[in-house]
């Protein structure tokens, strides 16, 4: 759908308590996402929003009363974009994410922003005013053809350029390699491309559930028939051995490369200019549960 259905809605609050392991509050200035990622975990939100349009074909623009006493969020971790991308193309027109940042400026809140866009560059100077701000970009391929098959977000090269600019500006950056498509996502190649542009590298496996499972399985059978048996083992047979093997392989490779590799824990602090830490979030229990209740990372 080239022209998403857009409506403006009023909400009581823009900040929600979160059970995600990386934040205390989740913040989503929009409902829906026009990136239309075919594998998006957040597509289940349609069950609660009653939108008849397909996922990617609608966007609700949130308006809220100005945040009172923003100082109460000092030291709190706020994850902007836990379900939908706060820098979707329509943000350029509506500016709800920018309005949020302006309302929180000076509050002392710690921000984590997840996106697939380079529009976030517009707010670089504003984001710099927050302590310990982190910005992450989702990158699960270096192949633009595969990326175009999966989503309508900006090119990988534009994301990497934005990541580099933020990192050079002294803001901590994360490359979120997610979702990892078995046999398609070259994790090592992505790490090599981003290791001088980020402080953290998150890994998350492709989970297939809900209405998009059949569509992705059909895509694999059509475009990557040599991987059809593997996907059937993983997503029909519920065989986790692929992820266990990949985990072991990446852990050994990271050690050889001189990169730290940890599991389900991004609390390791390193000097800003140190090599990035790789964090494996394969099958993290809270992330799996969050994807089913509305707190998953959808950028």
> Over the stretch 86-121, which tens digit does the pLDDT of each residue have?
999 999 999 999 999 999 999 999 999 999 999 999
Residues across the chain: 299
What CA–CA distance (Å, rounded) separates 26 from 18? 6
- Specify the pLDDT at position 176: 96
Token pair for 69: 């006493």
Task: Please indicate whether residue 52 or residue 257 has the higher confidence score (pLDDT).
Answer: 257
Compare 2 and 253 and report the one with higher pLDDT: 253
Tell me which of 54-58, 62-66, 274-278 is least confident.
Answer: 54-58
pLDDT at 286 over 70: no
Nearest-10 crossing angle of helices 156-168, 187-194: 40
Strands 58-64 and 77-80: unpaired
| Segment (H or E) for 168 | helix 156-168
The mean pLDDT value for 139-161 works out to 97
Tell me which residue of 229, 226, 245 sits closest to 237, measured CA to CA: 229
- Residues β-bridged to residue 172: 134
Cross-strand pairs, 15 = 27
DSSP 103: H
- Residue 8 makes CB contacts below 8 A (sequence gap 6+) with 60, 61, 63, 94
The more confidently predicted of residues 63 and 46 is: 63
Residue 269 — very low, low, confident or very high, per pLDDT cuts 50/70/90?
Answer: confident
Q: Provide the sign of the torsion angle of the four alpha carbons 169, 174, 179, 185, taken in this order.
A: positive
C-alpha gyration radius of the chain: 19
**C-alpha–C-alpha distance, residues 34 and 89, integer Å:** 8
Mean pLDDT of all residues in the chain?
90
Domains detected in the chain:
5-207+240-293 (3.20.20)
Select, from the ranges 160-174, 199-213, 259-273, the one with the highest average predicted confidence (pLDDT): 160-174
The answer, yes or no, to whether residue 296 has pLDDT greater than 50, is: no
pTM of the model: 0.90
The answer to whether 71 and 107 have CB atoms below 8 angstroms apart is: yes
Q: Given a cut of 80, is residue 1 above it in pLDDT?
A: no
What pLDDT does 283 receive? 65
Token pair listed for 91: 């943000």
pLDDT digits (tens, 9 = 90+) for 219-247: 999 999 999 999 999 999 999 999 999 99
Place of tokens 């706060």: 86
- Cα–Cα distance between 293 and 48 in angstroms, integer? 10
Average pLDDT over residues 268-295: 68
Specify the pLDDT at position 268.
77
Confidence band of 251 (pLDDT split at 50, 70, 90): very high
Instruction: Output the pLDDT for position 290.
Output: 37
């Amino acid at each position: 759908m080239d022209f998403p259905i857009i409506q403006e809605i009023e909400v009581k609050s823009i900040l929600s308590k979160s059970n995600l392991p990386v934040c205390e509050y989740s913040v989503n200035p929009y409902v829906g996402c026009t990136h239309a990622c075919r594998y998006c975990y957040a597509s289940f939100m349609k069950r609660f929003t009653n939108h008849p349009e397909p996922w990617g074909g609608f966007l609700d623009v949130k308006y809220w009363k100005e945040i009172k006493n923003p100082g109460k969020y000092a030291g709190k971790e706020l994850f902007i974009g836990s379900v939908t991308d706060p820098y979707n193309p329509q943000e350029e027109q509506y500016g709800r994410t920018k309005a949020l940042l302006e309302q929180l400026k000076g509050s002392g809140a710690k921000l984590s922003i997840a996106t697939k866009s380079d529009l976030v560059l517009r707010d670089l100077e504003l984001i710099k005013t927050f302590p310990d701000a982190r910005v992450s970009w989702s990158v699960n391929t270096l192949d633009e053809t595969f990326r175009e098959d999966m989503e309508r977000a900006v090119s990988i090269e534009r994301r990497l350029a934005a990541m580099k600019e933020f990192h050079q500006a002294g803001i901590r950056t994360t490359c979120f390699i997610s979702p990892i498509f078995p046999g398609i996502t070259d994790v090592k190649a992505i790490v090599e491309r981003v290791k001088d542009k980020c402080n953290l590298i998150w890994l998350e496996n492709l989970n297939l559930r809900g209405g998009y499972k059949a569509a992705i399985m059909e895509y694999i059978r059509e475009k990557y028939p040599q991987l059809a048996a593997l996907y059937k083992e993983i997503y029909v047979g519920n065989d986790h051995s692929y992820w266990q093997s990949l985990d072991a392989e990446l852990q050994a490779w990271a050690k050889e490369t001189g990169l730290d590799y940890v599991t389900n824990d991004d609390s390791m602090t390193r000097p800003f200019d140190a090599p990035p830490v790789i964090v494996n979030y394969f099958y993290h229990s809270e992330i799996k549960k969050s994807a089913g209740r509305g707190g998953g990372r959808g950028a």
